[in-house]
Structure 1
């Protein structure tokens, strides 16, 4: 489970498990009837399942209150069914509290649920494993005690966030860890015992917690939460999702970049899965009504790979993974003018500005030009676009918020105006419109008298 720097105080143990399946709306967050966190996706046949902890902290509580794990499912990654709690602290008779991050892995016709849970004995967090005959259980304790605990030689400083991967040769591996302590170990074929020594993976630059392992085209990928301020986040109380690749499941790993930048919650915990020929990123934010750092909610967005196997940065959307994907990172950007000390790359590099003065992810500015300037996205083939947003740059010097702006699309022979462009500072100015098919999207910016204009991030959404 993703923890920033707080210790959780949780009271009580639940003994009942809900079984009623309830349809939920197709939007990000994908469920708002309860708060959910630390999602782990799993594809079984034509269904994607998401296993997530439930945040139960009352408003104003600055600790995690988590006592049960819930399951959601979908056959289209857009419309979701909530199956309620399918495991809880009482699933593990030896456990005491803290139903933190978990993941389910199928093998031998069964489904093994690896969890972060607080044991009754010495040590703060342990990793337990439950087993069921279907993705929805019922699940029971598979081992009668922790799989990993503080007494495990070379265990992490915080034994949380298990991710399990079964390779093509049948060998299973588990990765976990917090407080900068990534760990890995082989699992026995019974999936409830370890084989050999716990190892410390190398090359996971700025690892903090929340590893996620998968394989694509013969290459191993490890995504994980980091909290450095070297392009990751603006404040180390937050986290981003970095990733590394390797040709061996135990590394060594080579850092490749950022999958997901800073989100609205301080914690950042995610999983990646391929479903119906499309890749998805499943993560959590604080975006649900009444949400917060201890009242988080699961979201889903599409994820794209470049031709060389690197991952394109995902920009969080509201409206669901099936309802809108920011395609600006895949566009070629151009401009009428960019200042020598600013960067055109800023406009679609996936930054999440804290305010209009935030330069942490680069900034575009067109000083000393005045009047009307423009920036433009171009794609090699026509794209359907129905929403755009712009976060304006204001350095309190020569660059200021524009007097006005105009969004336009190319119809094959000329630019056509799209109404509704906003110029507010310290926020995303969102424009929704009827979908257009185009290879070019242009944003015109008309400056205030004597000033120039700038942009921190400009998004274009494909429905």
Structure 2
């Protein structure tokens, strides 16, 4: 089994006074010496590898220029090494251009690198496969010709973006396809031949390209790029990452939601992997200096699953984050409802409105009066601003009557100095500013309206 394809399910436990830690994000993009795109993560032992194409287009270019694939690696998901180009167009004697998205799958002690490349024969893009004896290669052409091409029966409108999954029974599956045409086929045990007919998976709503398949707790997941404006993107020239689930590796699939919204690059290509007990989303943006649609860079952010197996939407970070210290804090509370989650308040969710549960919600029903949520850091942090997005379900949890930000002064909780109004409006971030405090503990004290309880979708605390 690959270290990235079968993800572990973590238990979620809530208590009356609960705590949950979310360590800080690493800096994004993860490398900026070159531009990298179409990332595919793989975990082998204590190392995460990312296989990515290299963008070489000059400034102002209106086309992709990609001739080689690089391998990035890290042992902590924070410090990254570019190991250089480990495959190029020249790896495939039958290819002529376009080193597009690829992915590596381990099998039988070897590493199979499935790639999108423009062959010299008729048609445009093909899928080739190279093989190596280690995650860093060297890699050589495993087949001597395309695995998938335009001549393949029922091939995709554009044969790109392969993802390979090996199931518990040893059967391998290949998914690929662009131009709204997902395709799938079984692979032979040798990993370089197909078995049976190519099928068209059903249920992948608004599929555009870039599939990524894995399995978790017996359920199959397929993430993919979509470009619809039905909650996905504001401009169909861009893409988001949707996901679907199925009980069979060939579907049918049921669309579940959005993992990653529109990013700064028009393309949106991502993978999910478990590493050191944490799930990560690996994707690309145009956020590096001089970046753009054809000059993209790989980014890595933490990803979280809800207790029911759904995926929490990821908010992209840049430069190590936006100064929000909440993501590195341990959260606790006076009370959390058994059907809500304390994890909501600092999981980086972006609520659409105060009734939005898509990124989890914290609530304290049936408690009334004054309750609190609190952040704790191992060492003192300097803080001067918070932002609160209130939860309102119209079923007993409502907007509060009032609130107050407090900090631990070493012996007691006291109000932060020169506090601006602690806003209680719905459907917006309520920003509270105050004189800088240096503390290891920050508390939001919340007083409910008569007969009601209160809730929070996100509470941010910003560095002074």
TM-score by length of 2: 0.72
* Alpha-carbon distance in 2 for matches of 1:82, 1:56: 16
Deviation at 1:440, TM superposition (A): 3.7
* Alpha-carbon distance in 2 for matches of 1:116, 1:324: 39
Q: Map Cα deviations across residues 382-407 of structure 1 (whole Å, 9 max, x no partner).
A: 45588889799xxxxxxxxxxxxx99
* CA shift in 2, pair 1:135/1:332, >3 Å: closer
* CA shift in 2, pair 1:118/1:192, >3 Å: same
RMSD across aligned C-alpha pairs, in angstroms?
3.6
User: What aligned pairs does 1:392-411 form with structure 2 within 5 A after superposition?
Assistant: 408=405, 411=408
Q: Map Cα deviations across residues 121-156 of structure 1 (whole Å, 9 max, x no partner).
A: 111100000000000000000000000000000010
User: What aligned pairs does 1:103-252 form with structure 2 within 5 A after superposition?
Assistant: 103-252=103-252
* CA shift in 2, pair 1:324/1:285, >3 Å: farther
Q: For residue 101 of structure 1, give the secondary structure of its aligned residue in structure 2.
A: strand
* Alpha-carbon distance in 2 for matches of 1:324, 1:50: 27
* CA shift in 2, pair 1:232/1:438, >3 Å: same
Q: Map Cα deviations across residues 167-214 of structure 1 (whole Å, 9 max, x no partner).
A: 111000010000000000000000000000000111111000000001
* CA shift in 2, pair 1:146/1:324, >3 Å: farther
* Alpha-carbon distance in 2 for matches of 1:311, 1:220: 13
Unaligned runs of 5+ in 2: 1-24, 332-341, 347-351, 360-370, 390-402, 422-430, 447-457
2:289 paired residue number: 289
* CA shift in 2, pair 1:197/1:293, >3 Å: same
* Alpha-carbon distance in 1 for matches of 2:38, 2:224: 12
Deviation at 1:332, TM superposition (A): 5.6
Deviation at 1:344, TM superposition (A): 2.3
2:279 paired residue number: 279
Q: For residue 78 of structure 1, give the secondary structure of its aligned residue in structure 2.
A: coil
* Alpha-carbon distance in 2 for matches of 1:254, 1:297: 31
Q: Map Cα deviations across residues 260-309 of structure 1 (whole Å, 9 max, x no partner).
A: 00001111000000011100000000000000000000000000000000
* Alpha-carbon distance in 1 for matches of 2:302, 2:235: 26
User: What aligned pairs does 1:329-348 form with structure 2 within 5 A after superposition?
Assistant: 330-331=343-344, 343-345=353-355
* CA shift in 2, pair 1:458/1:191, >3 Å: same
Deviation at 1:331, TM superposition (A): 2.7
Deviation at 1:256, TM superposition (A): 0.5
Q: For residue 331 of structure 1, give the secondary structure of its aligned residue in structure 2.
A: helix
Q: For residue 179 of structure 2, give the secondary structure of its aligned residue in structure 1.
A: coil
Q: Map Cα deviations across residues 331-388 of structure 1 (whole Å, 9 max, x no partner).
A: 369xxxxxxxx94247x978xxxxxxxxxxxxxxxxxxxxxxxxxx976x74558888
2:311 paired residue number: 311
1:65 paired residue number: 65
* CA shift in 2, pair 1:391/1:306, >3 Å: closer
Could you tell me whether the CA contact under 8 Å between 1:407 and 1:417 is conserved in 2? Answer: no
Deviation at 1:437, TM superposition (A): 3.9
Could you tell me whether the CA contact under 8 Å between 1:239 and 1:262 is conserved in 2? Answer: yes
Could you tell me whether the CA contact under 8 Å between 1:174 and 1:186 is conserved in 2? Answer: yes
* CA shift in 2, pair 1:315/1:143, >3 Å: same
* Alpha-carbon distance in 2 for matches of 1:140, 1:43: 21
* CA shift in 2, pair 1:326/1:249, >3 Å: farther
* Alpha-carbon distance in 2 for matches of 1:313, 1:303: 8
Deviation at 1:27, TM superposition (A): 1.7
Could you tell me whether the CA contact under 8 Å between 2:406 and 2:413 is conserved in 1? Answer: no
Aligned residues: 369
* CA shift in 2, pair 1:202/1:414, >3 Å: farther
Unaligned runs of 5+ in 1: 1-24, 334-341, 351-376, 393-405, 422-428, 443-456
Could you tell me whether the CA contact under 8 Å between 2:183 and 2:201 is conserved in 1? Answer: yes
* Alpha-carbon distance in 2 for matches of 1:155, 1:317: 37
* Alpha-carbon distance in 2 for matches of 1:153, 1:438: 61
Runs of 4+ aligned residues of structure 1 deviating over 2 Å after TM superposition are: 323-333, 342-346, 381-392, 406-421, 431-442, 457-462
Q: For residue 344 of structure 1, give the secondary structure of its aligned residue in structure 2.
A: coil
Could you tell me whether the CA contact under 8 Å between 1:256 and 1:310 is conserved in 2? Answer: yes
* Alpha-carbon distance in 2 for matches of 1:28, 1:306: 25
